[in-house]
């Protein structure tokens, strides 16, 4: 044990390799594997691996851990670049690896900061400061260069007792609690101090038991009648989605699948289900919506929205309530880099097919948009990637009785990416304690209840229609009311004094 600990904490290559493997272990804590103890073990290995190294060595170790996480956890990006971006395997691997290395830098920076400015001697303060700096890293990652808020540590606890804390502080609070406990558990020196060991046991009991008790609290209450919903999963191949020769077939398919079902209050089509501009396809949507309205049904669909202003033509990734007057629609704000817009467009356009994907010139929607209005209720719309931004999702959720997300995960094939995406949608439902309606092109289409449980679902890669019910909810969870500000304040109160009191020499 002593020899293993020395290798883990030592500055050599072995310690970096352990960190690399530990980062990969963390991926197994998320969907579809859900082996959450491995996530805590992974964090503990990184924490102990930073206890005796210099800041420069810490950056390498943190970067190695981050590379292990992202190389194993987001390798599905290769599929979209190679298969749908027509990049050769070497080029797709290079671009995917470059992204993973870039993301690993967030953990390199976190490790460097902790060792350089924070690393205290005590087990308690060391564990707490590490957990709060982890939160700061995740929050920074959700913002920097538009953000990549994927694989947050708290998602590993979507189905554990810790999930009871999600309505209180969101996925970030779950992450702080889990990282703190993982670090403290790795401090075996506590076993030599009975009082501290008892204190740690009591604290762990409070965290886990508190989460269980909180899961029984109804922060929100039902309002109005239950709504019947009809979610259409057309399972259209990504290669056909934007093919002009296939557009008519696509529209007919959605029409026929919809008309074949019994009447429901809401009919929901997925992201860009109508694969033509709104100016060209509005007649089709309004025609379907008018026919459905005769049966008391309301259509909600994804559609590219085009507008003309002083700067010329603008195209948005939109979701709209068909046939409503005044028109209720929402324009996506959080765009996917390269998939929906191209950074440094003047330099990159035309270099390779991946930088010229169909519909990769979307504009960003305004920040002050209201919720959708449908069937007499307010629905918080999240288009695809937007469902992975915790604080972003809270603004509209706090104004709404239901959550709705439409998506097209066809880009990522049969990889783990779509299942990770589904897990994040489940967390949004838990945080807001509201029902989530999730409609996708090829899966996973689902109805998620306020506890994050999937009540109904359509498996991936099946052409099918889901029919079920959702209950509108009113009231605010603490997280919807306060968002992440309490955690931000706590992080500042702990990290700033630690930084001022102790600075690790270079």
CA dist 471 and 266 (Å) reads 12
| Per-residue three-class SS string for 229-257 | EEEEECCCCHHHHCCHHHHHHHHHHHHHH
Question: Which one, of 360, 330, 368, 326, lies nearest residue 343 by Cα?
Answer: 360
3-class DSSP state of 315: strand
Residues 445/233, Cβ–Cβ less than 8 Å: yes
Q: Could you say which DSSP state residue 415 is in?
A: S
Pairing of strands 436-440, 402-407: parallel
Which residues, listed in sequence order, are joined to residue 464 by a DSSP beta bridge?
233
DSSP helix/strand/coil, 272? coil
Give the residue among 356, 359, 355, 369 at the shortest CA–CA distance from 335.
359
Residue matched to tokens 């990159």:
348
Residue from 241, 384, 431, 498 carrying the catalytic annotation: 384
User: Catalytic residue among 332, 334, 340, 498, which?
Assistant: 332
Distances (CA, A) of 317 to 97, 186, 314, 420: 28, 46, 10, 22
Quick check: is 271 catalytic?
Answer: yes
Strand partners, 461: none
- Listed residue (160, 185, 186, 136) closest to 452, CA to CA: 160
Up-side HSE of residue 293: CA atoms within 13 Å toward CB? 14
How large is the C-alpha radius of gyration of the chain?
24
DSSP states of 320-382: EETT-SS--EEE--SPPBTTTB-TTHHHHTTTSGGGG-TT--PPPPPTTPPPEEETTEEEEEE
User: CB within 8 A of 261, min separation 6: which ones?
Assistant: 230, 267, 465, 467
149: closest CA among 495, 500, 391, 321?
391
- Contact indicator for 319, 301 with CB cutoff of 8 Å: yes
Q: How many CA atoms lie within 13 A of 255 on its CB side?
A: 14
Residues with a known catalytic role: 271, 332, 384
């Amino acid at each position: 044990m002593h020899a293993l600990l020395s290798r883990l904490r030592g500055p050599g290559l072995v310690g970096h390799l352990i960190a690399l493997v530990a980062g990969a272990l963390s991926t197994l804590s998320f969907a579809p594997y859900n082996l959450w103890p491995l996530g805590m073990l992974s964090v503990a290995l990184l924490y102990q691996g930073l206890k005796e190294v210099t800041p420069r060595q810490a950056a390498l170790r943190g970067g190695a851990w981050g590379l292990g996480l992202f190389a194993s956890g987001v390798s599905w990006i290769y599929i979209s670049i190679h298969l749908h971006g027509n990049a050769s395997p070497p080029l797709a691997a290079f671009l995917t690896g470059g992204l993973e290395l870039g993301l690993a830098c967030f953990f390199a920076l976190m490790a460097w900061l902790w060792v350089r400015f924070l690393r205290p001697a005590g087990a308690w303060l060391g564990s707490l400061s590490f957990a709060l700096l982890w939160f700061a890293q995740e929050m920074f990652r959700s913002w920097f260069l538009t953000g990549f808020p994927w694989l947050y540590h708290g998602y590993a606890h979507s189905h554990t007792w810790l999930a009871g804390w999600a309505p209180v502080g969101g996925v970030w609070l779950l992450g702080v609690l889990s990282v703190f406990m993982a670090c403290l558990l790795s401090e075996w020196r506590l076993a030599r101090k009975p009082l501290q060991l008892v204190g740690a046991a009591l604290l762990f009991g409070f965290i886990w038991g508190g989460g269980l008790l909180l899961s029984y609290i109804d922060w929100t209450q039902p309002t109005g009648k239950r709504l019947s919903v009809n979610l259409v999963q057309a399972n259209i191949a990504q290669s056909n989605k934007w093919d002009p020769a296939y557009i008519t077939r696509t529209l007919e398919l959605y029409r026929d699948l919809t008309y074949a079902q019994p009447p429901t209050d809401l009919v929901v089509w997925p992201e860009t289900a109508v694969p033509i501009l709104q100016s060209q396809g509005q007649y089709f949507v309004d025609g379907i919506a008018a026919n459905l309205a005769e049966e008391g049904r309301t259509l909600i669909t994804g559609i590219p929205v085009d507008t003309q202003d002083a700067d010329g033509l603008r195209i948005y990734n939109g979701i709209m309530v068909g046939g409503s007057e005044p028109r209720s629609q929402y324009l996506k704000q959080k765009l996917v880099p390269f998939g929906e817009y191209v950074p440094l467009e003047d330099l990159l356009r035309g270099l390779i097919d991946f930088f010229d994907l169909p519909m990769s010139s979307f504009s960003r929607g305004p920040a002050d948009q209201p919720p959708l209005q449908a069937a007499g209720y307010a629905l918080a719309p999240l288009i695809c990637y937007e469902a992975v931004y915790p604080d972003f999702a809270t603004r509209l959720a706090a104004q709404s009785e239901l959550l709705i997300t439409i998506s097209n995960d066809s880009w990522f094939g049969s990889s783990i990416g779509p299942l990770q995406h589904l897990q994040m949608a489940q967390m949004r439902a838990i945080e807001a304690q509201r029902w989530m309606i999730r409609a996708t092109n090829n899966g996973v289409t689902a109805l998620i209840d306020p506890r994050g449980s999937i009540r109904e679902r359509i498996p991936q890669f099946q052409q099918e229609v889901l029919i079920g019910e959702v209950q509108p909810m009113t009231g605010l969870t603490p997280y919807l009311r306060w968002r992440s500000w309490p955690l931000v304040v706590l992080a500042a109160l702990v990290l700033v004094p630690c930084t001022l009191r102790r600075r690790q020499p270079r």
